[in-house]
């Protein structure tokens, strides 16, 4: 290491020697996956990445794309921001997602709604069952208070700082980091009003499949849930896979499941009718 610091050519050679190195947490380029659904052609795969513990990832996905998230080892926490890729001032509105659907608990058939009353993502499949629309994510202050340090470059990065990095890749800034949803880690509101975190760890391999109902930008942070009661900073890698798919049809069961959801889908269709 001392030689690479003193000799730029040695540093170059060291860097080039890393080519071909494969670790668990990294994007796969070009994307390859051996466990796609049977009706998905390999040529339709657009994203394959394992997001490290404490890491983040971001991607622009076209309307109709499917995004599958897998909690590889049972202790991942997928915190999501979602934006209209064409007009990022339209973004996920967690309050409306809860209010419009008369339900604060996400699962198969539920929708992630924007602040313009449109569907950004629908949830096609969910075998996890523990998600959170209440708590948001951590920030440097909460991490410093709990773990003794909260710097983005330190050992205990926060969700908000990871969101800032992901948003910046799309020209977005601090004011664009809005309230998020957390997948794979849940929060339950008890009858007396307290919040009970449901953070596991759980069985490995749980998954969620989302369908993009608009062209979206998704930013994912994989850090411990903000209400995780464990004293240690605990989170494990998260896998993201995305592939192209058809736009939601008029007879789709999720589209017509509720009057409120149908209205949100109709708003999407009107948007694309321009």
Tokens found for residue 1: 């290491």
94: Cβ contacts below 8 Å, ≥ 6 apart: 133, 179, 180, 181
Compute how many other C-beta atoms are within 10 angstroms of the C-beta atom of residue 119.
25
CB neighbourhood size of 17 (10 A): 9
Per-residue model confidence (pLDDT) at position 250: 96
Domain boundaries, the chain: 48-247
Tally Cβ neighbours within 10 Å of residue 109: 16
Is residue 34 classed as helix, strand or coil in its secondary structure?
coil
pLDDT of 10: 86
Is residue 9 exposed (0-12), middle (13-18) or buried (19+ Cβ within 10 Å)?
Answer: exposed
- Degrees to nearest 5, angle at CA 173 with 272 and 49: 70
| pLDDT the model gives residue 154 | 87
Is the sign of the CA dihedral 264, 267, 271, 273 positive or negative? positive
| pLDDT mean for each 10 residues of the chain (274 residues) | 70 85 84 94 97 98 98 98 98 98 97 98 97 97 93 92 98 96 96 94 98 98 97 97 98 97 98 90
Per-residue confidence (pLDDT) for residue 216, from 0 to 100: 98
Instruction: Supply the pLDDT for residue 92.
Output: 98
pLDDT in tens, 79-109: 999 999 999 999 999 999 999 999 999 999 9
189-233 pLDDT, tens digit per residue, is 999 999 999 999 999 999 999 999 999 999 999 999 999 999 999
Cα–Cα nearest to 254, from 118, 103, 124, 125: 124
**Distance (Å, whole) CA 19 – CA 1:** 18
Helix (H) / strand (E) element for 66: namely: strand 66-71
Give the orientation angle of helix 259-272 with respect to helix 94-101, to 10 degrees.
130
112: nearest Cα among 82, 68, 76, 136: 82
SS (H, E, C) 155-201: CCCCHHHHHHHHHHCCCCCHHHCCCCEEECCEEEECCCCCEEEECCC
DSSP H helices in the chain: 2-6, 8-17, 94-101, 140-147, 159-168, 259-272
- At CA 146, angle to CA 142 and CA 152, rounded to 5? 55
Helix, strand, coil percentages in the chain from 3-state DSSP, rounded to 5: 20, 25, 50
CA dihedral 99, 100, 103, 105 (to 10 degrees): -90
> What are the structure tokens assigned to 262, written together?
């149908």
The rounded Cα 220 to chain-centroid distance in angstroms is: 4
């Amino acid at each position: 290491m001392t030689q690479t610091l003193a000799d730029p050519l040695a540093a170059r050679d060291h860097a080039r020697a890393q080519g071909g190195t494969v670790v668990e947490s990294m994007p796969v380029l070009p994307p390859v996956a051996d466990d796609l659904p049977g009706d998905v052609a390999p040529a339709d795969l657009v994203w394959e990445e394992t997001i490290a513990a404490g890491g983040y990832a971001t991607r622009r996905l076209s309307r109709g794309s499917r995004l599958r998230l897998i909690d590889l080892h049972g202790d991942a926490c997928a915190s999501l921001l979602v934006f209209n890729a064409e007009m990022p001032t339209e973004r996920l509105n967690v309050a409306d997602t809860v209010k419009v659907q008369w339900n604060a608990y996400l699962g198969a058939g539920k929708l992630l709604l924007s602040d313009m009353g449109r569907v950004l993502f629908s949830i096609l499949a969910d075998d996890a069952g523990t998600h959170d629309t209440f708590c948001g994510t951590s920030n440097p202050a909460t991490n410093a208070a709990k773990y003794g340090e909260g710097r983005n470059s330190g050992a205990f990065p926060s969700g908000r700082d990871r969101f800032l990095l992901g948003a910046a890749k799309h020209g977005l800034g601090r004011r664009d980091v809005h309230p998020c949803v957390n997948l794979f880690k849940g929060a339950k509101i008890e009858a007396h009003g307290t919040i009970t975190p449901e953070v596991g760890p759980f069985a490995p391999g749980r998954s969620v499949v989302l369908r993009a109902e608009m062209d979206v930008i998704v930013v994912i942070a994989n850090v411990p849930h903000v209400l995780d009661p464990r004293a240690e900073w605990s989170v494990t890698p998260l896998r993201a896979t995305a592939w192209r798919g058809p736009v939601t049809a008029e007879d789709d069961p999720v589209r017509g499941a509720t009057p409120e959801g149908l209205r949100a889908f109709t708003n999407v269709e009107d948007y694309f009718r321009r």
